[in-house]
Amino acid sequence: MVIVKVSTSFFSKVKTISRAVQKATNDDIIVVNAGKYKETLTFLDSKTITAKSAGTVVIEGAILIAKGAVVTFENMTIQPTSQIFVEGQLILKNCVVQGGLTNVLIAMNGGTAQCEKTHFRDATDIGITLISDSKANFEYCHFERNKKVHLLVENSTVHLENCELSKGNQAIWAKSKSNAFLNNVKVHHHTGTQIVVQDHSLLDLKECEIKQGEGNGIYASEHSKIHLAQTIVHHHTLPQLWIQKSTLNVSESQIQHGSESGIMLREYAEATISDTLVSFHKIANVQLTFESLLNMTNSEIFNCQGVGIQLKEKSIANFIDTVFAHNVLPQLFITENSICTLKSVTIEDGKQIGVFTEKGASCSIVSSTITGHKNAALTVIDAELFLLNTTIHHNNGNGLFAVNNAKTTVDNCQFNHNDLAHIAGKNNSSIHISHSELIGGKSIFVIDHCQLDIIDSIIKDGTGAQIEMIDHINANIQNSKIIDGQTNGIIAMKDTSVHIMESQISSHKMPQIIVNDSSIIFKNSELLEGERNGFIIKNHAEALIQDSFISNHGYPQIWIDSESTVELKATQLTEGRESDIYVQNNSVLHATNCIIQNAKFNFNIQAVNFSKIYLAETMVDNSFGSKFYSENNSQITYNMDEIS
């Protein structure tokens, strides 16, 4: 190896770099003294060109590195007058490559580059272009003020480590099956999208920071792949990550403080996100549209001024061990036939609604907690909701609100301390509750042609009517307990139909069951210990009470009023503190195979105001006084004998 010295001094034998290149043999080192060298350099074989210290040597001109040549520049400032054209290998160490005289600093065509501690700046268009399977590695490099894009990568591969890219229109544009690997890289202050990835390309970021761009942080399209690990993305004017017909994988990262959305998934995009914080966006933290897919685990969705996460247009999302909190609009919004599942999720402290599901969408929530919302915890409109092993508590609105043909299933769940009804339904909705517990509040309120099923559940400690049903409700209650309410147990009004089987209703301070202009079937059940009536059946109501036990009420245990009809079969009434049965105002009771006992009030059975009572094969016993009382054109028929 020979050292060839270049100097502009009068006594130097080699005054130009091009002369030194011609003179030096392969792998010789060319040492350039301080000065500015205006010349064209062509490298056909390997050379090393170095200055003793950085900033002392300026090369202005054209540079060509042919295929097979390995050329090293060290401690140089290069001001190319046309693109540095690389088909071979270029090595830059501690250099400055500065534009102003050319639109592109370096053009690589199937070549390779290894750059360390080098500054690429001020190109009028592009810093570096890589095409035709070029490969470049950058370490501790800085790209700045290249106006259109710092790195344009086409069908090539680029690696950046400990680098910085700033103050251009775009930082990286990778397309046509390109690969870009960034490790500990900072990308900031670009006027357009900071990183663009297109057409089956790959972007892999680790421990990077993408910030303060006027467009998107990252835009991916046409079946590209984006990987983010331990990366921070923040403060972009447009959605921070825009993923379209592409895949996204994010882990241990933060996506925050965007002027629009945090992550936009569009047109069959797919994303896997884990251990990541997405927060402080104005429109949505995450949006899925046009049949996109999302799997999110162990992540946090916080503090959006709009929606926490939005799914629409047949998108699908799965959430595991994720927290939604402090989002202003619905924390999770599912619409337009989208599907969402949540497991071991916490949805808390929302400014309005926890989960909003509408327009044919479907949501399943398992082993989760939904709490602390200013409005309803769950709202379902013309959609489906399935809840399993989930707790809904301390919400200012309803726990669950189902509207307009909604279909909801609640299994092994607990509702408590919600300010409005734990479960409310309206307008042809169906609500199926099983193995669940509703505590406190006004537990269930349904109106307008709804279907309500309650199986193997407990409803207790209600401050309002524990179950209230109005206007053509069809309800089935089986093997359940409705107990310890501050007012009524069940209210059924306006053509509602209620079927109660193998259940217990007890310990309410107001009448336990009110059936008003409606019908009820009460079988194999118990009605116990009410401070007032057991049943109030009125206004053309109908009731079948069979194989049941009614006991210990402060007022008449069954009160029948206003042209209502009751069939009482194989039922026992006992320990009433007033009458067991009171029938008035053109009402009718038929009792068969019953036992009616009273030891505290003078009349077991009373009929007044044009009412009729028929007793067949029924035992009536009163150890306190008389069994029967009738007045005003009423009659009680007992074993075919008229009792006056």
In this prediction, residue 589 carries a pLDDT of 97
Nearest in space to 241 (alpha carbons), one of 267, 269, 219: 219
Tokens 């595991």 appear where? Answer: 320
SS3 of 433-463: the string is EECCEEECCCCEEEECCCEEEEECCEEECCC
Percent of the chain with pLDDT over 90: 91
pLDDT tens, residue by residue, 360-391: 999 999 999 999 999 999 999 999 999 999 99
Helix (H, G, I), strand (E, B) or coil at 586: coil
Buried b vs exposed e over 177-198: b needs ≥16 C-beta within 10 Å? bbbbbbbbbbbbbbebbbbbbb
Structure tokens at 516: 């008003």
Q: Give the residues across from 319 on adjacent strands.
A: 296, 342
- Other Cβ atoms within 10 Å of 14 Cβ, number: 18
In this prediction, residue 643 carries a pLDDT of 41
SS3 of 6-27: the string is ECCCCCCCCCCHHHHHHHCCCC
pLDDT tens, residue by residue, 556-588: 999 999 999 999 999 999 999 999 999 999 999
What DSSP state is assigned to residue 359?
A: T
Q: Burial, 167: exposed, middle or buried (Cβ in 10 Å; 0-12, 13-18, 19+)? A: middle
pLDDT tens, residue by residue, 150-206: 999 999 999 999 999 999 999 999 999 999 999 999 999 999 999 999 999 999 999
Over residues 126-133, the mean pLDDT reads 97
Residue 90 has pLDDT above 80, yes or no: yes
The domain spans of the chain are: 1-168, 533-644
Contacts of 491 (CB under 8 A, 6+ apart): 465, 467, 468, 469, 470, 513, 514, 516
Half-sphere exposure (CA, 13 Å, Cβ side) for 192?
15
Q: What confidence tier does 600 reach under pLDDT thresholds 50, 70, 90? A: confident
Q: Are 492 and 520 in contact (CB under 8 A)?
A: yes
Nearest in space to 509 (alpha carbons), one of 482, 531, 481: 531
Looking at every residue in the chain, the average pLDDT score rounds to 95
Full-model pTM: 0.93
Tokens 């059946």 appear where? Answer: 537
